[in-house]
Amino acid sequence: MLRWRHCVTIGLAMLLVACGVTSDSQDPAARADAARLDVVFSAQTRVWQDKRRAELVSPDGWLSLIGLHRIELKSHFIGSGQAAGIRLSMGPEKLGLLQSDDGAYWFTPERGVVVTLDDVPVRGRVRLLSDADASPSALGFDAGKGALSIIERGGVAFVRARHEDARTRTRFTGLEYWPTARDWQVDATFEPASAGATLPIANILGMIEDMPTPGTVTFERDGSRYALQALQGGDDTLFLIFADRTSGHGSYSAGRYLDAPLPDDEGRLRLDFNRAYNPPCAFTAFATCPLPPAGNRLDLAVSAGEKAYRPPPPPTLE
């Protein structure tokens, strides 16, 4: 009997070793270290989530958008009144006259309406710069609560309108996330693209633009290899637009965004999918979000990061 028990003990020990479970993994100190790492990582992720929310709900954040109006004529009267060619949902009934010619834009405020250009009060006709210029103009109204700007997408110009009192901002319901998990931090490698390489990127309006790509990020998950074609982000980031098996099934249907650090000299970097976030068009109908390129649709359920937004119910009619 003792010999039989001894054999069983040896067999169980061999099985535990084969499965990667050793006495070290049961060490209280190791468990405590892992728990501390989880706490620190969760705290760091929470800081990022709080910053993300603050930027979203800021007075000039994406939630403040109230309109996106295509500039189709040489002249458009702008205002909230019924006679306006570009009709705002908020603001003065008559705001002023927008004129355009060969990619140049001018604005003349309505008599008696207080308007600012980059926070400086204006009285007469002023030149407006678009986001294709180095320093885009911001035309303020409603005592600074509202703002107009010119954006260009795919060779088409639009007036974008914001207002601090936008319903999407004042009725914001908050962000939801999958539970933070360190195993959704994955090591990746970067493969640079050839000089001048571009990607065709469609936006939510159906326009397609060829955008420069610095290269491709590859990583492994559960024994499978995946690749994401990158766009240039900020000074120290790559910008990844991806869809996955959760798109439309827990996360935003059109995909999500992820900012990744630039690779080191050996092409190594780390992706943290806990910081995947929704594009602006998940919150407003007035954004022009770029969508995932064809190669960035992962056959993988990325159950990490930001979940689909639940907007507030529409206002009731009294």
End-to-end CA distance of the chain: 84
| 156 and 239 both lie in a single domain | no
Helices and strands per DSSP (H, E), number in the chain: 3, 19
Residue 6, pLDDT score: 40
Instruction: Report the alpha-carbon distance of residue 240 to residue 227 in Å, rounded.
Output: 11
- Range 112-134 burial, b when 16+ CB lie within 10 A, else e: eeebbbeeeebeeebebbbbeee
**In the chain, how many domains are there?**
2
Q: What is the CATH number of the domain that holds 70?
A: 2.60.200.20
Rg (CA), the chain: 26
Per DSSP, the residues of 30-49 read HHHHHHHHHHHHHHHHHHHH
- pLDDT, tens digit, for every residue of 39-74? 999 999 999 999 999 999 999 999 999 999 999 999
Q: Which of 170, 198, 216 is the last residue of a domain?
A: 170
- pLDDT, tens digit, for every residue of 163-209? 999 999 999 999 999 999 999 999 999 999 999 999 999 999 999 99
Residue 44, pLDDT score: 97
Residue 22, pLDDT score: 41
124: helix, coil or strand? coil
In the chain, the amino acid numbered 63 is: L
| 77 and 178 both lie in a single domain | no
Q: Which of 130, 145, 170 is the last residue of a domain?
A: 170
Nearest to 64 by CA among 147, 132, 174: 147
- Range 209-246 burial, b when 16+ CB lie within 10 A, else e: eeeebbbbbebebeeeebebbbbebeeeebbbbbbbeb
Range of the domain at 238: 173-296
Residue 284 falls inside a structural domain: yes
Residue 87 falls inside a structural domain: yes
| 283 and 186 both lie in a single domain | yes
Instruction: Report the alpha-carbon distance of residue 283 to residue 263 in Å, rounded.
Output: 31
Residue 214 falls inside a structural domain: yes
Residue 29 falls inside a structural domain: no
Please give the chain's pLDDT, 318 residues, in tens. Answer: 434 334 433 343 333 333 444 444 568 888 888 888 899 999 999 999 999 999 999 999 999 999 999 999 999 999 999 999 999 999 999 999 999 998 999 999 999 999 999 999 998 999 999 999 999 999 999 999 999 999 999 999 999 999 999 999 999 999 999 999 999 999 999 999 999 999 999 999 999 999 999 999 999 999 999 999 999 998 889 999 999 999 999 999 999 999 999 999 999 999 999 999 999 999 999 999 999 999 999 999 999 999 999 998 887 655
Could you give phi then psi for residue 239, rounded to 5 degrees? -115, 120
| 161 and 197 both lie in a single domain | no
Residue 156 falls inside a structural domain: yes
Element (H, E) at 277: none
Could you give phi then psi for residue 285, rounded to 5 degrees? -85, 0
In the chain, the amino acid numbered 258 is: L
Tallying the residues shown for the chain, one arrives at: 318
Instruction: Report the alpha-carbon distance of residue 249 to residue 66 in Å, rounded.
Output: 28
| 275 and 186 both lie in a single domain | yes
Contact 181, 270 (CB under 8 A): no
| 98 and 141 both lie in a single domain | yes
